[in-house]
Chains A and B, each alone.
Chain A
């Protein structure tokens, strides 16, 4: 943190060095966000194959020998190849750690300690270091050795019973939600610790795990659960979008698509949808009789197109929206104005499109046009810098 920005548009983490020992998604995604915010992120990878994500493809998409997935999680980083089981390499890594502000790893509990890079050892080597660890289920406890994989953590945490409808069985979220939420918590912890270091001069240990982060994501619903009957809430038979959400909250099929309808008093619904049958329900019925109310609404909504309903509902300030898919979203004016896409180019000159950091700082996006590094691409430069070449 020695660099003094010359203008407020300089990135806030310029001069902060982050070592990313993590693999797959949660740790590397956190490191990528720090890179978005200006940090110098160096991946420390096994010389053979590197981050396992390099060879894990989704949708069978590849770029320059690495999976597209890897590229999307590791843009704007450097790569240092080191075998942590080799004494010489370990010495280099320790020199790198001495030069760093933050290190992130997601090895299973105990692994870093066995390598000799546990928090106690490393914090003596570099007392200013913020040491961040990601696990599946915490570093102690009976689940500590279970695989810290997103779908499995979702399954253990109860969230699969929140999506879908009553008869559906468990419906997981269709991508790695817990990895991402865990990463976001990690970024917050790291940044807070850097702030504290600004005042105390000392680093600290940040620990996050998939399960705690999954609990946090469910905190609203879990609070209702803990302070209520403590029975598993049921999803509605149709159009569920929140187990504690009163009707009409949910998604309804129209003649040609789908309409989302959020909190709206039943009286308003009866008027706007010309549904006198809703008059039989009191507002206090909206949650417990949702299974009677939602089908009435669904039958009516399916009679007209989405556009026809929006023309009635939006001028009346009803909280509703057309349900878009990606192609329709990408064509929309709202998406174009948001400016969330960037083109990233890697060392080999290949380009790919990806979304960028979801915030603006002083009115500007935080573009990060540098692609992911080839394995060990920056080893020589860094060894030179550390006087170890």
Chain B
């Protein structure tokens, strides 16, 4: 079979979204072979171009923008100008997927709501990503990642008892909403192959955050609404018993996953653990006490000592690595998750790649993110606009 054939080859995605959730969804589609055309305001474009995150700026634009928009084309259009709106509609008539993440109601006011676009192109998969759902009493609140995390309850799962809420150190709500959107789009495209009809796919940051917590929420919802209780000592999961967690060693940290306490008592030669060996209920009920006993032992030797002792015995442990440490590992190099791309000015940058391999190969694109309107002439000509 032709292993070089990217699954979404030939599909056109018209992407009106900004920031992360929508553009992350279309990045995935791009990795799978689709052609993604960003529609941007001529003055400034996608707001992420100037997002003041990190000090790292590449060719005048935020590094983060480059990471999210590699391999895409940019068509600068003013959606308040009727001639530009007509151009967009003509483009949409030839597109397969339409993505937008304006606040609820905005896209309809622009005359580009689902009902209107479907008239132009009944086969289109139209995608809307919002913060909290289109009919929510929260619909007008900013659909920003940290704020959606704050409202979703998720901050009470990270960190340990006594910590207060601990947010993720990355934009997890945006990414999960983008992943949900990508799935909905792909499923709708599969459905279109059967029925010939497009569809409207909708998701939101809050829905995606609830889905992300589905496993732990299930315990809460079916347990009389008991709130999650993080362990007092280095919690790593509110519903899992000892030893689950991260422990300091003499020179670093060791992660220990679910493991029978009896096996640990033997291997660590810890008499104090032995009384707990057969009392599984205590592994949860008295987890801070048990973890404390384990922690005292692990602290007196190096991480390497423990890994070389425990790993061969089938105990689920891992060193806790920083980024520089991870990068020096052969295993990381082997994954081939980093690529070098060159932008329009010839600047080289290192970007992450697709986390999915198809027929043994990662999605490949060595094109960087576009300048605003970089592809206007080519696209206007190609589509007769």
Contacts and interface: CB of A to CB of B under 8 A. Distances in A.
B172 A177 contact: yes
Contacts of A211: 331-332, 335
Given A8-B197, A174-B157, A196-B5, A358 B219 contact: no
B184 A188 contact: no
Contact of A189 (B164, B175, B234, B358): B358
A162 B354 CA distance: 21
A263 B218 contact: no
A5 B194 contact: yes
Contact of A12 (B157, B188, B221): B188
B244 A232 contact: no
Name, among A169, A249, A332, the residue most crowded by chain B CB atoms within 10 Å (CB to CB). Answer: A169
B171 A220 contact: yes
Interface residues of A, number: 158
Contacts of A153: 318
Contacts of A240: 169
Interface stretch (B58-66, B74-82, B265-273, B371-379): B58-66
Contact of A221 (B169, B191, B201, B320): B169
B152 interface: yes
Interface string A242-260: 1111100111010000101
Contacts of B338: 226
Contacts of B225: 326-327, 330
B263 interface: no
B211 A137 contact: no
A332 to B, nearest CB: 8
B137 A334 contact: yes
Interface stretch (B36-44, B48-56, B85-93): B48-56
B246 A223 contact: no
Contact of A154 (B181, B255, B357): B255
Interface in B334-350: 334-335, 337-338, 349-350
B334 A138 contact: yes
A16 B187 CA distance: 11
B316 A152 contact: yes
A206 interface: yes
Given A8-B195, A175-B157, A359-B203, A324 B152 contact: yes
Given A219-B67, A358-B208, 4 more contacts: A171-B166, A242-B171, A244-B53, A359-B201
19 contacts: A68-B219, A149-B258, A154-B255, A174-B237, A184-B176, A205-B357, A212-B356, A240-B169, A241-B167, A241-B168, A258-B165, A260-B167, A323-B165, A338-B133, A340-B207, A355-B214, A361-B201, A362-B199, A363-B200
